[in-house]
Amino acid sequence: MTPQTQWLHKDNDCGGTIYIGDNACYYCDKCEHTGKLKSVKMECPTHSTSDGYYISLDSSTLSIAEVISCVGQMVSEVGQKWLIKFLENLEDW
């Protein structure tokens, strides 16, 4: 078991904490940038396997799978209803 950690905003090496909404958008608490998840670079300090490893979403099938994998891990905290609403909002991907 690894401890819970926060995803970090890697655009312009910001380093702020990323919050993910059920609207399939993100918010950075440091630079206060918001946008669709497909336009953000994120890094998990606990799970990244090498320096400079991050998830960058570009609307490809693999990237969508990465997003679903990441938010799927949040279900125990946010609940299934949140996940379903999030997945519905990915339609605009």
Q: What is the pLDDT of residue 51?
A: 57
Residue 85, pLDDT score: 92
C-alpha dist (Å) from residue 54 to 40, 57, 77: 10, 10, 23
pTM of model > 0.75: no
The answer to whether 38 touches 58, Cβ cutoff 8 Å, is yes
pLDDT given at position 81: 93
pLDDT (tens digit, 9 = 90+) per residue, 25-71? 889 999 998 888 766 776 666 655 555 555 555 555 556 777 777 77
* 8-state DSSP, 72: H
